[in-house]
Amino acid sequence: AQSVTQLGSHVSVSEGALVLLRCNYSSSVPPYLFWYVQYPNQGLQLLLKYTTGATLVKGINGFEAEFKKSETSFHLTKPSAHMSDAAEYFCAVSFGNEKLTFGTGTRLTIIP
């Protein structure tokens, strides 16, 4: 069965510092990978996706992620954190028409 693990339920970074949110997946076939962000009292918003092709994926709000098959990872990064990045971030995986399976989420706090 497909699964995804997010390391660190809470991450704090200083404003202007590098943001790194970790995601590892378990799969025997090539997955489709996604990162979503959720702000308080809202639904989830797609940040970026990997389906096929280039392994470095650029998303909205300056975020990017790299698909590394050898490490079964899809970590999310942003070079310089902004206060507006404070939110909860979810990594998700799916295969073909299968359901989207989410990780447990990482709450990102930005320190002024």
Partner 1 sequence: KAGVTQTPRYLIKTRGQQVTLSCSPISGHRSVSWYQQTPGQGLQFLFEYFSETQRNKGNFPGRFSGRQFSNSRSEMNVSTLELGDSALYLCASSPNNPQPLHFGNGTRLTVT
> For residue 81, what is the DSSP state?
-
CB atoms within 10 A of CB 27: 17
- Both tokens of residue 48? 């970026």
Q: Which residue's CB is nearer to partner 1, number 57 or number 110?
A: 57
Question: What DSSP line would sit under 1-63, residue for residue?
Answer: --EEEEE-SEEEEETTSPEEEEEEEE-SSPPEEEEEEE-TTS-EEEEEEESSS-SEEE-GGG-
To the nearest whole angstrom, how small is the minimum distance from the Cβ of residue 72 to partner 1?
Answer: 18
To the nearest whole angstrom, how small is the minimum distance from the Cβ of residue 111 to partner 1?
Answer: 23
To the nearest whole angstrom, how small is the minimum distance from the Cβ of residue 101 to partner 1?
Answer: 7
Residues that bind partner 1 (CB under 8 A): 32, 34, 36, 41-46, 49, 51, 90, 94-105
Q: Which residue's CB is nearer to partner 1, number 81 or number 93?
A: 93
To the nearest whole angstrom, how small is the minimum distance from the Cβ of residue 92 to partner 1?
Answer: 8
Least Cα distance to 78 among 12, 19, 16 occurs for 19
Q: Which residue's CB is nearer to partner 1, number 68 or number 99?
A: 99
Q: Which residue's CB is nearer to partner 1, number 46 or number 111?
A: 46
